[in-house]
Amino acid sequence: QPPPAESEESLQPAEKSFVDSELEEELQSVHHEALHSQPVSYEDDIDVEETVSDPGVPGDSEVMVEDAVEHHTELYFSFLSEPNHEKQTEIQDTGTYECIRVYVWSLVEGYSKQLLGNTREVMNCVGFISLLAKKKKKPKLLNKFDKTIKAALDAAERLRKKGKVEEALRAFEVLVNQYPQSPRARYGKAQSEDDLAEKMRSNEMLQKAINTYDEVVSLPNVPSDLIKLSLKREADRQQFLGRMRGSLVTLQKLVQLKNDLGVGYLLIGDNSNAKKVYEEVLSLSPNDGFAKVHYGFILKAENKIAESIPYLKEGLESGDPGTNDGRFYFHLGDALQRMGDKEAYKWYELGYQRGHFASVWQRSLYNVKGLKAQPWWTAKETGYTELVKSLEKDWKLIRDEGLAVMDKKRSLFLPEDENLREKGDWSQFTLWQQGRKNENACKSVPKTCALLERFPEATGCRRGQIKYSVMHPGTHVWPHTGPTNCRLRMHLGLVIPKEGCRIRCAQDDRTWEEGKVLIFDDSFEHEVWQDSESYRLIFIVDVWHPELTVQERRTLPAI
């Protein structure tokens, strides 16, 4: 630090040893007040010109992915606050704006591209957004208005960089007076005051700079990069003056911004950068619950099950805004189950009490309220008796076509890829997905597909699949739940070993029989064991929940 000047109050950094445990507790209280006193304002719109900079403006032509994603974190938050709320979307090829809107909405449905299916327009958007994410990032300091006065801003900045601090300050003051809503002019004024404070060794001038940095953040339409720079410098200067409490408040504003950025990366499927953001947040604010649950979520997605548990648990226990969400209860419970810890059901119970789950056992997150809920169903209860009769009547035909594919086209059976297996070998051959027929697959089992065409409750179920499922000895499928209560799942036994195979749904175990249909609601927890000496082959047919209306079946988004 510069030596003190005799004529001015000394700019000496304050001693930090006074930060004892009581003050830390008080500072943590300030942390929460600063972070959560202002409700987040959400808009369901985005200015494309703010997402992709005007290439005609020198020095500001890079595409900034943060600008796109930060404008859309509101979709994520509103979705988390209403996990049972069904949304609709029309996918239209109407350019960049619609592309970003549709793509972000789709990713909100689970941070997973798997849920997008093969819809061409959305997949085109995947490529577009991925391209944005890969662009070289460059700090964006000018909003649209500041680009119109860029020449004047550049002239004032040149004075500052040449060390003509007083002249630069006067130039920026003129710009601030003339354009009070200009974030870049105000930031230049703050930097000039900061430089002048160092030159004069004046705490009074440094306080002016701190105040001006704070003014930058409060202006409308401030680029996110400029907010970050202003907050970082403001906090640094506050620490220099020994104002630790004020510095912590400023840093928590920065933490909130970074938390939102982390969500933005998750929305575009960039878990790697999201992880880095939350690591940075936790280094700044180790007790931030929002960052903890998201960091735990990412670790679990990386299959780092044991590592994810303390972050998810501590994040939920913090009670911080944004943590009380069914996803985090779901994944914490799942992680605990996979570690053999019965505390999982404590968290499922708490999730149920807080309205995230229909029950401790029924934990789907994409639901229509009021539908009849029970683990096991009879054909009569579903109303789909004709479908069940047809499956049971022609089960050998379905079996033989499936076996022929296993013998001659085994590669059509794809390994289960949702990380549901503890161990073993489990593959599936899909004929319908999200209500869309796989024409190529059906060429291999034409009679089976022809039989199913008569039952739109199955082929038109856009929240389910129709598929063969083969499971080999030594396989165990973790306890898990399906994503929605809007479907029921039928299992037709095709090749069933005499013993060693069973399925549990909620608290009731069943076994398969060749030529017979089992029906259960897979939104309830279920688990499968295959401990026989030969493979098990079944045929899975998902159907709409019988209580859904025709309108609901037509308009519910696909899963």
- The pLDDT value recorded for residue 127 is 53
Phi and psi dihedrals of 525, rounded to 5? -55, 135
pLDDT at 79: 37
Cα distance between the two ends of the chain: 59
Return the bridge partners of 542, or none: 489
For residue 388, what are the β-bridge partners?
none
Residues of the chain with pLDDT under 50: 1-123, 126, 132-136
- The vertex-470 CA angle with 408 and 110, nearest 5°, equals 115
Its CATH class, for the domain covering 146-354, is mainly alpha
Q: Which residues contact 295 (CB under 8 A, 6 or more apart)?
A: 275, 278, 279, 282, 311, 315
- Give the predicted TM-score (pTM) of the model: 0.64
Q: State the pLDDT at residue 243.
A: 87
Over residues 172-185, the pLDDT tens digits come to 999 999 999 999 99
- At the fourth CATH level, the homologous superfamily of domain 376-555 is B-lactam Antibiotic, Isopenicillin N Synthase; Chain (2.60.120.330)
Enclosing H/E stretch for 49: helix 48-51
pLDDT score of 151: 96
**CATH 2.60.120.330 in the chain, residues?**
376-555
Closest Cα partner for 316 from 305, 324, 327, 308? 324
Residues near 148 by beta carbon (within 8 Å), at least 6 away in sequence: none
pLDDT digits (tens, 9 = 90+) for 145-204: 999 999 999 999 999 999 999 999 999 999 999 999 999 999 999 999 999 999 999 999
Q: Please give the pLDDT value at position 253.
A: 81
Q: By the 8 A CB rule, do 558 and 435 touch?
A: yes
Q: Which of 480, 476, 481 is nearest to 531 (CA)?
A: 476
Residue 304: C-alpha distances to residues 272, 309, 310, 338 (Å): 14, 9, 12, 11
- Residue 217: the pLDDT is 85
Q: Enter the DSSP assignment of 412.
A: G
DSSP symbol at 499: S
The Cα–Cα gap between 133 and 125 comes to: 12
Which residues of the chain form CATH 1.25.40.10?
Answer: 146-354
